[in-house]
Amino acid sequence: MRRLKFLPKEIMNMKINIAFKAFLTFFLAVGLLSCNNSRDYKNNSRATGWDINSDEGGFQYNTDYKEQEAGPGLVFVEGGTFTMGQVQDDVMHDWNNTPTQQHVQSFYMDETEVTNMMYMEYLDWLKKVFPPTEENYRKIYNGALPDTLVWRNRLGYNETMVNNYLRHPAYGNYPVVGVSWIQAVEFSKWRTDRVNELRLEEEGYTKEGARYTDVKAGSTFSTETYLNAPSLAYGGNTEISQGGKESQKMIENQSQDSLGNSLGGQTYVQRKDGVLLPEYRLPTEAEWEYAALALVGIRDYNAYRGRKKYPWDGQYTRNNDMRAQGDQLANFKQGKGDYGGIAGWSDDGADITAEVKSYNPNDFGLYDMAGNVAEWVADVYRPKIDDEFNDFNYYRGNVYTKNAINEDGTVKVVGLEDIQFDTLSTGRLVARSFPGEIAQVPVTEEDTYMRTNYTNSDQRNFRDGDKQSSRYYQSYQETDESKRMYNSPQYNAPNRNDSTSIAGSGYDNQKRTTLISDEVRVYKGGSWKDRAYWLDPAQRRYFPQGMATDYIGFRNAMSRVGSKSLGEKKKARN
């Protein structure tokens, strides 16, 4: 046999080629095995291995979703733990703010209080959609109007504010007042729908410009109606709800069988698409207090450095900055007859309310979390905070409802003939729901059967210290006054027709010892009429939910969905 002779260099090259081919084969095999074992979840299901978002059909999901966007006017407040009710003074001897350790989830909050201009936009929309010149709609618009007469004082001349504060452009960026808690809640619902209505239009799902030209009393947009019964949105007008370019693409891309029959598929935006924002709402008391304190500014690693009495650092209300030294850091009453200092040297620059952003923000970027106007929060007032039962997202005021269902199984949407009004203790009528919204009914015993986390619809009185909260509670009739925990007034206004189902007329004429009831709500923060004592974010007061004042306003909040932190912080942690 003839032997092959190779030069040493040729032998070396041959070995290198063999080694390279072997390494390449091994690398490809490992890569294929790795891809097979850990599919890209954006394109393949971890549950079934099926394609996600395939052009051929199947499961569709927004796998490109990053994180929640901040809605108009909102800033991000990263949640955390804090001591709620930590006060350094209790001169009122209320004993209603005992310190408790609480944890609040991340959320968003209005940068400023809701202003007159913002509220006027709401009134303008109501006036155009539900013209008060028509008898059927007059109560809707009138029920939303702020009470401008709150400015009157029997021994003071304030008619200028009565006539001008709400509507004059000089006060456009001042916080709205004269708004009851109920009116603030209705504004929040309206704001949710208008923001999401615009988002759908901008993303190309609804008809462009329809919110100006096509929306009438019977064809308004409701976020929950669109999500739960999209074909009924805009009064069932699909030319609006499916009039955008993206909606038309969704319709055209519906799968069909061999006979050309539609196999179904998504033709509306759904909650899983991440397009629509959560609701605007009033913040809970815990959220408001946490956001006002802004303890993030005195944090060292995972601990707070010292205490804060006000939304700013330090124990005093005056500015120590050289450029504004001596000026007050908030708008409040500094002494008897002193609402803003002497002429030419104004301590806080305002005698009544002040324009928003007149003072520095706190460490969360929130303005006027002390002074200017006090603010409504969502909670029903009780003297105690029951942290033994719950110390996570604490809130008293839950009334659980569900969508009303028609006999044919469809959701019941409020029509023009179905508008109902709540009669407040003042005798004023406020619309409970607008046409186009889904009617709500309380949850029933059947809905709560075998549940351990709640047993009925109304949870406002849960563990509030009365007889009903005890293990020995027996069901007493409402007429038995001796069994009521709080001896509060009961108003039966004429022609009452509301969710409380209280009939009759007349006024409460019995001697009462307290105003505490299920219809009083907490308000927080000092106002232009309050002394510095009330600037402490932990201080809490209450007021009837159907009444208004010249010193209580509000701001909105929005829950955060997804991660606790913003994207930049998540990346840094990785």
Q: DSSP labels for 442-511?
A: E--TTTTTT-SS--SSB-TTTTSSSGGGSTT-----TT-GGG-SS-------TT--STT---------S-
In a domain, 57, yes or no: no
Token digits for 177?
């007042």
In a domain, 12, yes or no: no
User: Does 362 lie in the same domain as 434?
Assistant: no
User: Does 529 lie in the same domain as 472?
Assistant: no
In a domain, 54, yes or no: no
Query: Considering its fold, how many domains does the chain have in total?
Result: 3
In a domain, 27, yes or no: no
Q: Return the residue matching tokens 């159907």.
A: 546
* Exposure string for 475-494, b = 16+ CB within 10 A, e = fewer: eeeeeeeeeebbebebbebe
User: Does 540 lie in the same domain as 393?
Assistant: yes
Query: What pLDDT score does 80 carry?
Result: 94
DSSP-H helix ranges across 40-137: 116-129
Of 430, 415, 418, which Cα lies nearest the Cα of 140?
Answer: 430
* Range list of β-strands (E), 248-298: none
Tell me how many degrees the CA angle 112-116-118 measures, rounded to the nearest 5.
70
Q: Is 54 helix (H, G, I), strand (E, B) or coil?
A: strand
In a domain, 144, yes or no: yes
User: Does 304 lie in the same domain as 234?
Assistant: no
Residue-wise pLDDT for 356-369, tens only, equals 999 999 999 999 99
Residue-wise pLDDT for 491-526, tens only, equals 654 444 444 343 444 566 666 677 888 899 999 999
Query: What pLDDT score does 266 carry?
Result: 72
Q: Tell me, what CATH number does 149's domain have?
A: 3.90.1580.10
- Lowest-confidence range among 97-101, 183-187, 209-213, 340-344? 340-344
In a domain, 51, yes or no: no
Does residue 431 surpass a pLDDT of 90?
no
User: Do the Cβ atoms of 440 and 402 come closer than 8 Å?
Assistant: yes
Supply the mean pLDDT for the chain: 84
Token digits for 564?
């606790």
Mean pLDDT of 4-29: 59
- List the beta bridge partners of residue 399: 458
User: Does 287 lie in the same domain as 139?
Assistant: yes
User: Does 512 lie in the same domain as 566?
Assistant: no
The DSSP output letter for 178 is: S
Mean pLDDT of 371-378: 97
User: Does 558 lie in the same domain as 494?
Assistant: no
User: Does 505 lie in the same domain as 431?
Assistant: yes
Residue-wise pLDDT for 384-406, tens only, equals 899 999 999 999 999 999 999 99
Residue-wise pLDDT for 232-283, tens only, equals 999 999 999 998 888 888 777 765 544 444 445 678 899 999 999 999 999 9
User: Does 282 lie in the same domain as 196?
Assistant: yes
User: Do the Cβ atoms of 397 and 380 come closer than 8 Å?
Assistant: yes
Which of the listed residues 242, 273, 304 is the one where a domain comes to its end? 273
Does residue 59 surpass a pLDDT of 50?
yes
Mean pLDDT of 525-550: 94
In a domain, 59, yes or no: no
User: Does 143 lie in the same domain as 125?
Assistant: yes
Beta-carbon contacts of residue 412 (< 8 Å; ≥ 6 apart): 403, 404, 405, 406, 438, 439
In a domain, 167, yes or no: yes
Token digits for 319?
């500015």
Element (H, E) at 570: helix 567-573
Query: What pLDDT score does 3 carry?
Result: 47
Does residue 23 surpass a pLDDT of 80?
no
Element (H, E) at 553: strand 552-553
Domain that holds residue 297: 67-203+275-397+520-574
User: Does 540 lie in the same domain as 568?
Assistant: yes
User: Does 225 lie in the same domain as 362?
Assistant: no
